[in-house]
Structures are given as structure tokens and as C-alpha cells.
Amino acid sequence: MTIKSLRVSNCRIISHVELEPSPGFNLISGQNGSGKSSLLEAIYLLGTGRSFRSSSTSSVIKKGERSLIVSADIETESGQIVTVGMERGKSCNRLHIDRSPIKQLSRAAEILPIQIITPESINLVMGSPRGRRSFLDWGMFHVEHNFLSATRNYKKNLRQRNALLKRKKFSESEMSYWNKALSDAGEEISSYRANYLEELTELYQQKLSPRLGSLSEGEVGFSYRRGWRESATLCETLEQGVERERVVGHTLSGPHEADMAIKSGDGVAKNVLSRGQAKLLSVGLYLSQLSHLYRKTGKKGIVLFDDMFSELDHQNSLTILEYLIDSGHQVFATTTEGDVSLLNERDLEMFHVEHGGVSTVVKQTITA
Ligand SMILES: Nc1ncnc2c1ncn2[C@@H]1O[C@H](COP(=O)(O)OP(=O)(O)O)[C@@H](O)[C@H]1O
Ligand SMILES: [Mg+2]
């Protein structure tokens, strides 16, 4: 997928911006607070219906305005142009694809697979299991058709079982019905995720690891922790756990407790790696996901890379930059003006963002 043209109105500091990005690497530079991340936020919003910076979309709408609008002409891998537009405001929440109103936000995500990498992405290695589960689920959503319905089903069953546990009083047959329903959906999700992680690991070791010099091949390993004991089925685990779960009032085992364990040498990666190395590893994992998506579906995802060079040294910044350029993905990367010297020798599209105003983005090209 490639964004051929983009129009953004009333997104945070941005009043109105129109861009015709390159199908390759687009560098967005500007001072702190100039609106670089806001531009990425607008693209992300179009593809996911959510902001990556705040949980409420209303804080993303420019102060004093009623709604924000983002629209883009997107070229698919078959050369077709699809126009996706969305408007978000207090009294409107609209998504249009080729001018037809669409109800499910997931339709836009299918057309526009977006991979976002921010300074917080380091939490994929350093943070809690929740981030690693969402990471795996991003991949599943895009490559496994049944994943979305299996997840909805699992969540629904989990809510029901938890409600029963909170009630404290229930019949054995009632609980065994929900144990079975939850474990069927849970085993399905778990096998998708385990299989996905295996394929992803192979791609990471083949494509990324050899390029990430300071994280040499074979040093890093990944394994799926499914959220219940290896020696039992989920249904057995749920049956055996009922009494303890009745006390705490919720379900303690299942894919909602899963994790992706990341090792570096003999240790747990987050205890061994430096922050720079952890960032490099996180970026490597996100980029492996895009390779996997392409291999499985022929779709090229779009990369939004906010504050691209933060925490990376000169050499690693170049490694990532070159990988991204070679990958052929459309990339929108932001950087502060100080880092632009890194890119002097490369032929990239560059956009410069300046504080406020209607035409805040001026297109330039830097060549060697
Ligand atoms: N809802 C909003 N309306 C108007 N301006 C906003 C809104 N939210 C944030 N801002 C302003 O937008 C600017 C942040 O822009 P941002 O895209 O984060 O900059 P950069 O990424 O270039 O550092 C800040 O100056 C902030 O005060
Ligand atoms: Mg920013």
C-alpha cells in the first residue's frame, strides 16, 4: 500500500496540510512542538481509528474546532486507487471508503496496515506482557482471517466467565459450559499466536539479525508463553482453577495472560540489553512483522516512525535507515532538525514542518 496523497485538517497544531508523499522514505523534520508527531497521528488515525498518543480522540482535534478530517488516496498492490476518508468530532464519527460510508473501522485497517514505532516501542522489550500480546495480535489481525472473530469470541466468553466468578454462586454445569467455550476460543488463539511467533522468529533471524551488528545472530531468542501450564489443556486448567478464581473473582489462565519471552544469551533481554540495544531489537521485531505481512499477504504495510533516531547511535541509526530504504516500504519518519545531517548523502523526500498556520508543510528534496 502506498499513500499517494494525504489531506489533514484540524489535527492538533495542524490547521490544514496537503502532501504528496514519496512511495519510499519520507522524512519529516522540524523543531520540538512543530507538529511532526501530529502528522503521523493523523495517518495513524485514518488507518486504525485511534490515536497512538491519547485514549480520547477529542484531545487530537484542534482546539476550538468541531472535528478533524483526514483523507488519503491509497494505491493498492494491484495498482487500484482507493480513497479513504474519516471525520471525527463530538457529534460525528464517519469513515468513508471510495465515498461510501463504512461502519467497521477494521475495514480501514485492512486497506491501510500501519506499523507505528515510537520511543515507547522500546517497551516491547522492556515493558509488560500486555504490549507484547498486542504486538502479536497486530500480526495475527493482518494475516489470519479467523483471528478477529476468535478474539471477539474469547473476550465475550471471558467476560461471561468472570461475571460468574464474581457472583461466587454458580452451578457446576454452568461453569463447565463457560470453561469449554472459553478454552475452545483460547486454544484457537493460542495456536495462531504460537505459529505466528515461530514464523516471525525465522524471519527475524534470517533478515534482521545479520544486519543488527550489536545484536549478533543467534544471541536473541523468542518463545511463546501461552498463559497456562504446558502439561495441561486450557479446559483442564480452568476446571482445576475454579476455587482459587472464585476467591479472586476473575480468570487467571488463558491467552489473556500470555507473553512472548525474549532472551538475550542466557538472560532475559530486558535485564541484559542496554536501552539502545533494546530499541534496536524492538525496531527489528516491528520490521520483521512487516516482512511477514508482505510474505503472507503480498501487502506492504506503511511505517510511521516517530523520533526515529532517539536512543540510537550514529551507526545503528544508519543501519535502520538503510534497512527501511531497502525494504521498499513507504515510511514516514520524524526527526528533529539536528539529526538531518545523517541523511545528507541520501536521496529522500523531505518535509519540513513549522509551528502553526495553514500551510505548515513545505516539500523539498535533499540529494547527495
Ligand atoms: N488539540 C490541540 N489543538 C491545538 N494544538 C495542540 C493540540 N494538542 C497539542 N497541540 C500542540 O501541538 C504541538 C505538538 O505538536 P507535536 O506534533 O507533538 O510536535 P513535534 O512532534 O513536532 O514535537 C504542541 O505545541 C501542542 O501544544
Ligand atoms: Mg514529536
For residue 307, which atom of ligand 1 is closest to its CA? 21
- Produce one character per residue of 258-290: b if its CB has 16 or more CB atoms within 10 Å, e if not: bbbebebeeeebbebbeeebbbbbbbbbbbbbb
Nearest one of 17, 10, 32, 112 to 351, comparing CA atoms = 17
Ligand whose nearest atom lies closest to the CA of 307:
2
Q: Is 11 left (phi over 0), alpha (psi -120 to 50) or beta?
A: beta
For residues 186 and 232, give the distance between their C-alpha atoms in angstroms, rounded to a whole number.
13
pLDDT on residue 342:
63
Nearest CA to ligand 1 atom 12: 13
Neighbours of ion ligand 2 (CB under 5 A): 37
Nearest CA to ligand 1 atom 6: 12
For residue 34, which atom of ligand 1 is closest to its CA? 22
For residues 26 and 129, give the distance between their C-alpha atoms in angstroms, rounded to a whole number.
32
What residues form DSSP beta bridges with 70?
8, 86
pLDDT on residue 179:
97
pLDDT on residue 364:
46
pLDDT on residue 319:
86
Give the distance (Å) from ligand 1 centre to CA of residue 310: 19
Give the distance (Å) from ligand 2 centre to CA of residue 306: 7
Residues in the chain, total: 368
Q: 7 in helix, strand or coil?
A: strand
Transcribe 88-103 into DSSP letters: EESS-EEEEETTEE-S
pTM above 0.85, yes or no: yes
Give the distance (Å) from ligand 2 centre to CA of residue 129: 26
Start-end of H helices in the chain: 36-48, 106-111, 123-126, 129-143, 147-167, 172-203, 234-248, 269-272, 275-297, 314-327
pLDDT on residue 340:
65
Q: Which residue has the cell 499517494?
A: 4
Ligand whose nearest atom lies closest to the CA of 28:
1
Mutation choice for ligand 1 from 12, 66, 308, CB with most ligand atoms inside 8 A? 12
Predicted confidence (pLDDT) per residue in 196-216, tens digit: 999 999 999 888 888 886 675
Give the distance (Å) from ligand 1 centre to CA of residue 336: 15
Longest CA–CA separation in the chain, Å: 74
Give the distance (Å) from ligand 2 centre to CA of residue 316: 20
For residue 61, which atom of ligand 1 is closest to its CA? 1
Give the distance (Å) from ligand 1 centre to CA of residue 89: 18
pLDDT on residue 328:
86
Per-residue pLDDT in tens (0 to 9) along the chain, 368 residues: 999 999 999 999 999 999 999 999 998 888 899 999 999 999 999 998 888 888 888 899 999 999 999 999 999 989 999 999 999 998 888 999 998 998 887 788 888 999 999 999 999 999 999 999 999 999 998 888 899 999 999 999 999 999 999 998 899 999 999 999 999 999 999 999 999 999 999 999 888 888 886 675 457 899 999 999 999 999 999 999 999 999 999 999 999 999 999 999 888 999 988 898 899 999 999 999 999 999 999 999 999 999 998 888 888 888 888 888 888 899 999 988 666 666 665 667 778 888 643 233 444 443 43
Nearest CA to ligand 1 atom 8: 12
Mean pLDDT of the residues in the chain: 89
Nearest CA to ligand 1 atom 24: 33
Residues with CB under 6 A from ligand 1: 12-13, 30, 32-38, 59, 61-63
Domains and CATH numbers, the chain: 1-113+299-368 (3.40.50.300), 128-296 (1.20.1050.90)
For residues 149 and 141, give the distance between their C-alpha atoms in angstroms, rounded to a whole number.
10
Give the distance (Å) from ligand 2 centre to CA of residue 22: 21
What residues form DSSP beta bridges with 5?
73
- H/E stretch holding 114 reads strand 114-117
